[in-house]
Amino acid sequence: MRLGVLDVGSNTVHLLVVDAHPGARPLPAHSHKEQLRLAELLDEHGAITPEGVERLVSVIGEAVQAAEDKGCEDVLPFATSAVREAPNADEVLARVKAETGVELPVLSGEDEARLTFLAVRRWFGWSAGKLLVLDIGGGSLEIAYGIDEDPDAAVSLPLGAGRLTSAWLPADPPDPADVKALRRHVRAQIARTVGEFSRFGAPDHVVATSKTFKQLARIAGAAREADGLYVQRDLTRKSLEEWVPRLSAMTTAERSTLPGVSEGRASQLLAGALVAEAAMDLFGVDTLEICPWALREGVILRRLDHLP
């Protein structure tokens, strides 16, 4: 069957169309993506602005049309942190349903972490042993740990690259004092969760997902996306420690010229690097592996698990 998963994230609205059936891996058939940057379309109270609502409704309408054009039997929509934390979320969701027909479920942060963990577990299999999974989104950082398909521990922290850039790094290039303050904030937030995970023992395999980690691995020398889905891509803490000062000294335009860095995400790369470096340091991770599957694939896999 052909399924679409509609991910309304803090950075992008992404429709992924796959051909899938129970017991088989989902095969990507089409991708429709619009960079909305919803995390930057919030007022001082965190509510989605009228402009943000208008753009969100328009982009979701386009994605629904794309899903129909590609022959999707069903579309699995969901929203993440930018909608989840907005004080006017109920109004926004009602507007989306009224104008597009899409009833948009909002995932909790823990659900995000658990579904991403499921995708990573299916990608690497049981032989990977105990997994520690890190995922940096636009609005939040998800961390999950476990040996089965459902993690033993899963948390979501408000440390997304888009959120932090908007709140902490207004200058371009960033003010060194702002970078130092953000680094301190990120490490304090992550440090509070380390004990919850360390009681389970050391992981056998540490994995990262998300565009942020993929771009950090690429600038640190990992293989290009064009080299294929199954090429192993790693990121080391040592390389991050070397890149953070360099990224701090760059403008957004300069970062956008780095290999694998898109113009739309260049502004967020430093904040993402600070979160990645802090997580790897505080969890004692020297090297992690990049997984091509993440939350969208987890949503699809969970749906397939519940088909007759």
CA atoms within 13 A on the CB side of 204: 12
The CATH number that domain 2-106 falls under is: 3.30.420.40
Predicted pLDDT at 102 = 97
pTM as predicted: 0.95
What pLDDT, in 10s, does the model give residues 55-104? 999 999 999 999 999 999 999 999 999 999 999 999 999 999 999 999 99
Could you read off the pLDDT of 95-121 as tens digits, one per residue? 999 999 999 999 999 999 999 999 999
Amino acid identity, position 124: F
pLDDT band at residue 18, thresholds of 50, 70 and 90?
very high
Structural domain spans, the chain = 2-106, 109-295
Return the ∠ at Cα 241 (arms to 237 and 243), rounded to 5°.
Answer: 115
pLDDT value for 33: 93
What is the rounded average pLDDT of the residues 7-24? 92
- Is residue 116 classed as helix, strand or coil in its secondary structure? helix
Q: What digits encode the pLDDT tens for the residues 256-293?
A: 999 999 998 999 999 999 999 999 999 999 999 999 99
For residue 192, pLDDT over 90 is answered with yes
Domain 109-295 has CATH 3.30.420.150: yes
Amino acid at 108: S
Taking the C-alpha atoms of residue 283 and residue 278, their distance in angstroms, rounded to an integer, is: 8
